[in-house]
Each structure stands twice: as structure tokens, then as C-alpha cells.
Amino acid sequence: MDGIERIAARIREDAEQEIARMNQEATEQVEAIQAQAQAQASREREEILARGRRAADERLERLKSAALMQRRTLELGARQEVLAEAFEKALDQLCSLPDEKMVSLLASLALQAAPGGRGRLIFSPQGRAQIGAAVVAKANEALAARGAGALALAQETRPLRGGFILADGPVEVN
């Protein structure tokens, strides 16, 4: 029996060595797979982080552009408001000129608008009644000195705050 026990012990020893070898190989394979998986996970993590950074940078640029556009829009609105206010004040000052200064100014503007002396001057109802005829007369004096035509005072009126409209056929100049 001693021989059989030795053979059985030898088989057990060989089996244990085979098991140990297989365990070693399995452990090495597991470690290699784990290392490979960790490397892949690390690469994927870096790629995801890089995409996230790029997306954040792009969003920041879009937000900056939108903020810049909004700032420009606000600045433009403020400029337009200031210009409108300035034009309104200028119009108020023009409308409050004494009649003789207003007549001179409007006659000068009529001469610039119609250097050949053609056309009709259209005023507001109040402007036509107060200074319309005087403006046309003064402009026509200057045109006569140049040997040019003569302007006419239009019968029609328009809702104007000040100034006049020069109508020459289908063309009107405000």
C-alpha cells in the first residue's frame, strides 16, 4: 500500500502544483485585465474631461458673445435715446424762435432745398397762418436776385411741429 499511497501523494502533489500554476496564471490574467481596464478607464475619463472642458469653454465664449451683444444693444439704445432727446430739444428751440428769425431760417432752408426755385412749401396749419407767406416771399426775393424761378405757398397743410415740406411734383423733401 505504500506504493499506492506514494502514487496517490504524487498525483495529489502534481494536482496541487497544477492548481497552483493555474491559480498563478489566472491571477496574472486578472491583473493584466485589471491593468488594461484601468488604463482604458483612465483614457476614457481624460477624454470625457477634455470634452467637458471644451464644451464649457465654448459655452463661456457664447455667453461672452451674448453679453457683448447685449451691452452693444444697450449702448445703442442709450445713444438713440440721447440723440432723440437732443433732436427734441433742438426742435423745441427752433419752434420757440421769434417769427423774424424763423422766417429767415426757413427761407434759407427753402433755398437750399430748391435752388432752382421750383416747388410748393407745405406748412402746418399754424405755421402757414403765422409765417408761411413771409417765408415764401423772402425765399422768392433771393431767387429773383439769382434769376431763378419762384416757390409757391401750398394750400394744403400737414401735421408738422415746425419747418416745412417742399413738394415738387411727386417728390417731397421734409
Instruction: Report the Cα 58 to chain-centroid distance in Å.
Output: 19
* pLDDT band with cut points at 50, 70 and 90 for residue 64: very high
More confident residue, 4 or 72: 72
The grid coordinates of residue 108 equal: 434759407
Looking at residue 80, what is its pLDDT? 94
Is pLDDT of 69 > 90? yes
Residue 174, H or E segment: none
pLDDT tens readout for residues 1-56 = 577 888 888 888 888 888 888 888 888 898 898 999 899 999 989 999 999 999 99
Looking at residue 4, what is its pLDDT? 82
pLDDT tens readout for residues 82-141 = 999 998 888 888 878 888 888 888 888 888 888 777 888 898 888 888 888 888 888 888
Looking at residue 56, what is its pLDDT? 92
Looking at residue 130, what is its pLDDT? 84
Mean pLDDT of 145-161: 84
* pLDDT band with cut points at 50, 70 and 90 for residue 73: very high
The secondary structure of residue 149, as a DSSP letter, is -
Looking at residue 1, what is its pLDDT? 59
In one-letter notation, the amino acid at residue 152 is: A
Looking at residue 67, what is its pLDDT? 93
Q: Are 107 and 142 in contact (CB under 8 A)?
A: yes
The torsion of the CA quartet 11, 17, 22, 28, rounded to 10 degrees, works out to: 180
The whole-angstrom separation of Cα 174 and Cα 171 is 10
The whole-angstrom separation of Cα 31 and Cα 110 is 98
Looking at residue 121, what is its pLDDT? 87
Spatial strand order of the sheet with 152-157 comes to: 152-157, 120-123, 165-168, 171-173
More confident residue, 73 or 166: 73
Looking at residue 11, what is its pLDDT? 84
Beta-strand relationship, 120-123 and 152-157: parallel
